Structure 1
Amino acid sequence: MLFSSAVFLFFFLPAVVFCYYVLLRKSRLLQNIFLFSASLAFYAWGEPKFVFVMLLSILANWFFGLMVHRFKSKKAVVRFILTLATGFNLGILFIFKYLMFSLESINSLFGAQLTVPVIALPIGISFFTFQAFSYVLDVNRGVGEVQKNPLYVGLYISFFPQLIAGPIVRYATIAKEIKYRKETLDDFTSGVTRFITGFLKKVLLANTMAIVADHAFDSKGGLSVAFAWLGVFAYAFQIYFDFSGYSDMAIGLGKMFGFHFLENFNYPYISKSISEFWRRWHISLGTWFRDYVYFPLGGSRVKSKSRLVFNLFVVWFLTGVWHGANRTFILWGLMYFVLITAEKLTGFENRFKKFGWLKYVYTMTFVLFGWVLFRSNNLTAAGEYLLSMFGFAGNPLFDGAFQLHFTQYFIFFVSCA
C-alpha cells in the first residue's frame, strides 16, 4: 500500500486515525495493539505471505534482545548471542535479496551451472531488518529499554509510517514513546502539514521528473549530449523528492500518533564535499552504518591510514550492497569509498575555502555520475550513458527529445531547483 494511493488516503489512514483517537483513546495498550495490527494489515495489503517473514524477524529479535539483557553480565554469552542475531538478520537479507544475485554471479564468473531459485523480494526488507537489528544492538548498548512484551518490539519494527521507505528509525530514538508518548494537537497538525508537504513532493515533483528520467535512461535510439544531461538532472531531482518526500510523509504520520522520528535529509544538493553530501543525504542510513559498523571497527581514530582505509571500505561496500543486488550498486558504493577516503586523507573539507564554488561543482559532478550508476540497469548501460553525456558515443549535441522535454517540463525543473 502506497501513501499516495487512494485506498491509503481515503480509507486506511482515516480509519486508523478514527479508531486510535476516538474508539481507543482511553487505553494505551489497546492503541498499541491496534497500531501493530494496522501496520501488519498495511504490509499485507500488497504481499500477505511476507507478513510471516516480518513476524519471524520480530519474534527472533525480541528473543535476542531478552537474552542479551538477561546475560548482560556475561560478556562471552552476549557476544555469542550477538553473533547469532547478526547471522539471523544478515541471513534473512541474503536469502531474499542477494541469493539469486550471488548464484548468478558464480555461474557467470566460473561457468558453473548452479540452479538459481526465483525468490520474490519482500518490500521494505532492508529497512525493517536494519530496524530489528537496531533493537538488539541498542539493548546491548544500554540506550534502550528491553521489551519483555513482543507487542512493543513488533510495533517498533512494523510501524507503518516508516515501514516501506524509511527513515530507518533507531530503537533508542523512540524506545520511550512506544509506551509513554504524548499526543498533542500541535503535533497532529504539524504532522498533517508535513505529510502533505511530502505528498506534494512525491506526486508533483518526483513523479514528473521520473517521466523525463525514464525517457532518457530507457532511450533505445541514442541520446544527445543535452538530453543525457537533462535526464541525469531529472533523475537527481526525482530520487531526492521521491525519497525525501516519503521521509516527510513518514515523519508527519509518526507525529500524528505521538512518535518523533529524526530528520533524514538536510538539503544534500548544497554540499561542497562528498563527505558533507553524505552527512545530509539519507541520514538515518549513514548514521546506522557509522554507529554500528564504522565506530566498532575503530572509525577514524586508528593508528594507521591503512586501517582507516579498510574501515571506510567496509562501510561503503556494505552501503552499496544494501541498496540492491546489482554490480551497479556495488560500484556506486565503491566510488564513494574512493572519494571519501581521498577527502579524509587530504583534509579536503578544511582546504580550498576560497574556492567553494569549485568544490560545489566537483561534488555535484560526482553525485550525478553516481546517479547514472544507480539508475542504470547494468554497468554496460551506465558506461554508454556516461559516454553520451560527454559526446563520446557519436551522438549530437542537441536533438528533438531534449527540446521537447526541456520545453514541456521547464517549469518543473525550475520548481525543483
Structure 2
Amino acid sequence: MLFSSITFLFLFLPVTVLIYYLVPQKTRNLVLLIASLFFYAWGEPVYVVLMILSILLNFFCGKDIGKKRADPVRAKRSLIFAVVMNVLILGFFKYYGLLMETLNVLFPYEIPYRELALPIGISFYTFQELSYLIDIYRGNAKPQQRLLPFALYISMFPQLIAGPIVRYVDIEAQLLNRVMSMRKFGQGVMYFIVGFAKKVVLADSIGVLYEQITALPIGSFSVLTAWVGCLAFAFQIYFDFSGYSDMAIGLGKMFGFEFRKNFQYPYIAKNIGEFWRRWHISLGTWFREYVYIPLGGNKCPASRHLLNLLIVWALTGLWHGAQWNFLVWGLYYGVILILERYVWGRALGRLPAFVQHIYTFVLVLIGWVFFFSPSLGAAMDYLGVMFGAGASAWIDRQGVYFLLTHWLLFLLCVIGSSLRGMNILRLLTGSYESRRIRQIAACVVYIGMFLVSLAFLVTESFHPFLYFRF
C-alpha cells in the first residue's frame, strides 16, 4: 500500500486514525501495531512473517545482551551472534542474486539459481534493529522488556517502508508515553500534504520526462538530452524520497511521534560533504555512529582515515542496491570526499558561492548516472554521451524540445528544492497580522495543495516510491 494511493488516503488512514483516537491510550500501541502489520501485509503477505520473525529474534537478542552487560566478553559474543544473524538475513534476500551472478561470470560453468523478491523495507528495519542491539551493548539504551512496544518500533507503518531510519533511543520514551494534541495533529497533516505534493505533482511529473528520455536509444542522444535526462532524475529522486520522508514525519505527528528530518535542501550544498549532511540524514547518521566511528573515524593516521571512508562509502553504495554500479556510486563519493578533505577542500572554500554550488551539483548529477543506470556498462555509456563521446550531437531539436516543453516544471523543481520554496509557502500562510486570517489562509493553501495533488494522482499513471526497492 502506498501513501500516495486512494486506498491509503480515503480508507486505511481515516479508519486507523479514528480507531486510534477512540480507544483508551493504553490500547493505542496495539492498534497501531495491528494497523502496521496489515499495512505491510497488504503488499508483502508472505514477507510479513519474515518481519515478525526478525522482530522476535532481535527482541530476545536485545534482552540477552542486556543481561550479559556485566560480562563484556559474553555480551560481545551475544552481540556478534545477533549482528551476524541480521546481516545473513539481509544478505540472503538482498545480495544472493548478485553473488550467484558474479560466480557465474567468474567460473566457466553456470550455476542455476532462482531470483528472490526483495522484501520491501528490509534494509531500513534491519538497520533499526542493528542500532537497537548496538546501543544496548554500549549502554546507551536499556533492552525493551515488553514485546509490544518493540514490535511497534520496528513495524510502525509511517516509516517502515522507506525510512527515515529511526534509532530506538530517540523514540524509546515516546513508545510508552507520547504527547498528542490537535496542534500536533494539524502540523502532521501539513507535513503530509507537502510530502504528498512533492511526490505526485513534482516527482511523478518530472519522472515522466526521465522515462521518456531513457526509453530512447542511447545512440540517439545529444549531449543536451543526456544532461536534461540526468537533471530530471535528480529532481525526481529528491522529491520522491524527501516527499516520502515528509509524509512519514507527518504521519508520525498524527499519532504523537516525533521523527527527525531526513532532508535539509541538499541541492543547495557547496561541497559534497555538505550534500551528504543534508541528504538522507538518517542513513548518514547511522553509518557514522555504527561503522565510521567504530572503525576509528578521523581520529587516526591519514592512511587509516582514507580506508575508513572507502569502507563506509562502499557499504553505503551496496546498501542501496545489489549491483556493482551501486558499489561504484558509493566509492565515487568516498573518493570525492577524500579529495575534498586532503586536496582541494580549502581552495574550493575560497571560490565564490555560486561556483561552489555548480561544482557540487555537477558532481551529484554525475553520481546519479551510476545510481539510475541498470548496469555499470550502461552508466559508462550514458556518462560518455554526457561529455560528447558517442553523442549524436551537442545540441539537437530533441533536447531543445524537452527543455522548452518542461521549463516551467524545471523551474518549480528548482524553487521547491531550495529554501525559496518554503519561504513562499510561509509567505502565503503566515504573513498576516491577524491570527484568524493566518489560519484561514493556511487552510486554503493546504487544502488547495491537497486537491491539486489528488487531481494529479487520479489522472496520472501509477508511480511507486523509488526507495521501495532498497
Which TM class, normalised by the smaller chain length? Answer: over 0.9
1:7-406 equivalence runs, <5 A: 7-22=7-22, 24=23, 26-28=24-26, 30-220=27-217, 222-302=220-300, 304-346=301-343, 348=345, 352-406=349-403
Q: Is the 8 A contact 1:217 1:376 kept in 2?
A: no
Cα deviation for residue 205 of structure 1 reads 0.2
Q: Which ranges of structure 2 fall in alignment gaps of 5 or more residues?
A: 415-470
Cα deviation for residue 214 of structure 1 reads 1.3
Letter in 1 for 2:8: F
Structure-1 separation of matches of 2:55 and 2:350: 48
Structure-2 separation of matches of 1:111 and 1:207: 43
Structure-2 separation of matches of 1:243 and 1:267: 12
Q: Per the alignment, in what secondary structure is the counterpart of residue 136 of structure 1?
A: helix
The 10-residue stretch of structure 1 (117-126 or 351-360) with the greater mean CA deviation from structure 2: 351-360
Q: Is the 8 A contact 2:86 2:130 kept in 1?
A: yes
Cα deviation for residue 396 of structure 1 reads 1.6
Q: Per the alignment, in what secondary structure is the counterpart of residue 69 of structure 2?
A: coil
The 10-residue stretch of structure 1 (34-43 or 102-111) with the greater mean CA deviation from structure 2: 102-111
Structure-2 separation of matches of 1:345 and 1:381: 31
Q: Is the 8 A contact 1:273 1:349 kept in 2?
A: no
Q: Per the alignment, in what secondary structure is the counterpart of residue 393 of structure 1?
A: coil
> Which structure carries more relative contact order (alpha carbon 8 Å, separation 6+)?
2
Q: Is the 8 A contact 1:106 1:112 kept in 2?
A: no
Residue by residue, what CA displacement relative to the aligned partner does 1:18-72 show, whole Å, maximum 9, x if unpaired?
Answer: 00002x1x232x1101111110000000110000110111011111110111111
CA gap 1:92/1:229 in 2 versus in 1, 3 angstroms = same
CA gap 1:354/1:113 in 2 versus in 1, 3 angstroms = closer
Instruction: Give the corresponding residue for 2:447.
Output: none
The 10-residue stretch of structure 1 (271-280 or 386-395) with the greater mean CA deviation from structure 2: 386-395
CA gap 1:211/1:81 in 2 versus in 1, 3 angstroms = same
Structure-1 separation of matches of 2:69 and 2:122: 29
The 10-residue stretch of structure 1 (218-227 or 363-372) with the greater mean CA deviation from structure 2: 218-227
Task: Return the TM-score normalized by structure 2.
Answer: 0.86
Q: Is the 8 A contact 2:194 2:243 kept in 1?
A: yes
Q: Per the alignment, in what secondary structure is the counterpart of residue 114 of structure 1?
A: coil
Q: Is the 8 A contact 1:145 1:175 kept in 2?
A: no
Structure-2 separation of matches of 1:329 and 1:306: 24
Q: Which ranges of structure 1 fall in alignment gaps of 5 or more residues?
A: none
CA gap 1:124/1:349 in 2 versus in 1, 3 angstroms = farther
CA RMSD of aligned residues (A): 1.4
Structure-1 separation of matches of 2:403 and 2:296: 48
Residue by residue, what CA displacement relative to the aligned partner does 1:361-415 show, whole Å, maximum 9, x if unpaired?
Answer: 2211111000011001011211111121122214122334323322322211100
Structure-1 separation of matches of 2:292 and 2:395: 45
Letter in 2 for 1:48: P
Structure-1 separation of matches of 2:25 and 2:354: 56
Cα deviation for residue 350 of structure 1 reads 7.7
Identity of aligned residues (%): 48
Cα deviation for residue 225 of structure 1 reads 1.3
Letter in 2 for 1:123: I
Q: Is the 8 A contact 2:348 2:356 kept in 1?
A: no
Structure-1 separation of matches of 2:83 and 2:188: 35
Structure-2 separation of matches of 1:148 and 1:52: 22
Q: Per the alignment, in what secondary structure is the counterpart of residue 131 of structure 1?
A: helix
Structure-1 separation of matches of 2:134 and 2:112: 36
